[in-house]
Structure 1
Amino acid sequence: MKTHLHKIPLILLAIYMILFIILAINPYDRVTWWAENIPVLIVVGLLLLTYSRFKFSNFSYFLMTLFLCYHTVGGYYTFELVPFDWGNQLLSKLKLDFILPEGRNNFDRLGHFLVGVFAYPVVEISLRKKWVANKGVAFVFAVFALGFWAASYEVIEMYYAVLEGGKSGAAFLGSQGDIWDAQKDILMDIVGGCVFGLLALFSQRYWRG
């Protein structure tokens, strides 16, 4: 492996940390900021702790960094308040009103799709560590893992909203008045997991590059 490729995870970490520090200054709602960023920091911490024992491909780290940065932006504004008019207009062209309705800030809904990027490293580690017998099982395992996490996170959101209450609770829940918000979020997590899980299967040859 070329020397400069070893540096890519460190460069991605530096980019994320710079963004995190900048967006940690005066967020829209500090309580919501903490609630949104604690799970992200746990992921970053786990990746750092395990880096010496298992290194994902650079593309895995890129995908995970993409999501972490996206989520950090959402945590700064609270997802509902992210200035995303251009994105909402672009998403409206997909004509998926049942899942990406007009008049709603769909920054968070797109974020749930991007949660699916973690299917890529799950497939990768499953196959490289030989945890599973074949590619098909690795794909199903990754999608089911994403689905389990998606459902668990929605339960966490519910409990936080009930316990915290008020503006911060509502901001963390992020339903924007949609009674089916949790189910739609889980659907987007799973769809994203399928997309990025398949991408992992088709890009195995690049894992060590």
Structure 2
Amino acid sequence: MTTLADMQAQKTSPVAWACLALTILVLMWSGLAPKDRGTWFMEVAPVFIALPLVALTWRRFPLTTLLTVVITLHAVVLMVGGKYTYAEMPLFNWLRDEFHLSRNHYDRVGHFMQGFAPALVARELLLRTSPLRPGKWLAVVVVLSCLGISALYELIEWGAAMALGEGADAFLATQGDVWDTQKDMAMAGVGAIVALLLFSRWHDRQLTTVGVR
């Protein structure tokens, strides 16, 4: 567990400062004349919540560099989606047209990251604040937690659709796919599993820098 000496010795890394600067710059760009202001606010809301939370708790609970970078990448995906809406992201419109795809797939990237980033967030929080240790049960708890987060987000989208009617179409980004909700949750599950398979060992090594043995 993290000791007082560990926290006092922990300094904010240049990478963390760079991630903060990037997040603020992309947030400003994203908020400058987005395609739809209401959709932008709903898509970017997690950034408005996470950014001050991480900043306020950093001194006593600094995150590993890996997690800091992953959270920043997730924030960028959210802010780009907010800027254009997930169904109209220009690069993925080009990919759709160039490769004759059935839809703009940027929404799938967003939901993949919705599992990928929370998997490492949950893993770090559990290893630093609970008796759980690296292994299969930790992986099971993390993946199921990410699927729960994804299901909660889909419920929020449903609530938005009920409240806003047609005005929620850009936020939902279903693009006419009746199985969009199920596919979104599946992508979050895949993202969580990929994060654990690719980065668990690296994450374990980084956790030693914040006092986790």
TM-score range, shorter chain: 0.7 to 0.9
* Contact 2:10-2:62 at 8 Å conserved across structures: no
How far apart are 1:200 and its partner, in Å? 3.5
Query: What one-letter code is carried by the residue in structure 1 that aligns with 2:43?
Result: E
Counterpart CA distance in 2 for 1:88 and 1:117 is 26
Counterpart CA distance in 1 for 2:162 and 2:64 is 40
* Contact 2:89-2:106 at 8 Å conserved across structures: yes
Structure 2: which 5+ residue stretches go unaligned? Answer: 1-5
* Contact 1:56-1:125 at 8 Å conserved across structures: no
* Contact 2:151-2:185 at 8 Å conserved across structures: yes
* Contact 1:124-1:200 at 8 Å conserved across structures: no
Give the paired residue count.
199
Cα-Cα RMSD: 2.5
Alignment of 1:195-206 (within 5 A): 195-203=194-202, 204-206=204-206
How far apart are 1:117 and its partner, in Å? 2.0
SS at match of 2:138: helix
Counterpart CA distance in 2 for 1:185 and 1:169 is 17
How far apart are 1:139 and its partner, in Å? 1.4
Counterpart CA distance in 1 for 2:59 and 2:200 is 24
TM-score by length of structure 2 reads 0.84
Give yes or no for the alignment of 1:62 onto 2:69. yes
Moved more, 30-39 or 41-50: 41-50
Where does residue 170 of structure 1 map in the other structure?
169
Where does residue 122 of structure 1 map in the other structure?
122
How far apart are 1:122 and its partner, in Å? 1.6
Counterpart CA distance in 2 for 1:181 and 1:12 is 32
* Contact 2:95-2:101 at 8 Å conserved across structures: no
Query: What one-letter code is carried by the residue in structure 2 that aligns with 1:124?
Result: E
Query: What one-letter code is carried by the residue in structure 2 that aligns with 1:112?
Result: H
How far apart are 1:146 and its partner, in Å? 0.6
How far apart are 1:123 and its partner, in Å? 1.2
What percentage of residue pairs aligned between the two structures are identical? 32
Of 78, 86, 92, the residue aligned with 1:71 is 78
Deviation readout 1:138-162 (Å, 9 max, x if unpaired): 2112111111110000010011011
* Contact 1:56-1:121 at 8 Å conserved across structures: no
Query: What one-letter code is carried by the residue in structure 2 that aligns with 1:50?
Result: T
Moved more, 77-86 or 147-156: 77-86
Structure 1: which 5+ residue stretches go unaligned? Answer: 93-100
Counterpart CA distance in 1 for 2:186 and 2:193 is 11
Query: What one-letter code is carried by the residue in structure 2 that aligns with 1:30?
Result: R
Alignment of 1:41-56 (within 5 A): 41-56=48-63
Counterpart CA distance in 2 for 1:89 and 1:190 is 28
How far apart are 1:88 and its partner, in Å? 4.7
* Contact 1:113-1:192 at 8 Å conserved across structures: yes
Of 26, 32, 41, the residue aligned with 1:25 is 32
* Contact 1:28-1:76 at 8 Å conserved across structures: yes
TM-score by length of structure 1 reads 0.86
* Contact 1:114-1:192 at 8 Å conserved across structures: yes
Where does residue 98 of structure 1 map in the other structure?
none
Moved more, 78-87 or 153-162: 78-87
How far apart are 1:4 and its partner, in Å? 8.6
Higher fraction of helix: 2
* Contact 1:71-1:111 at 8 Å conserved across structures: yes
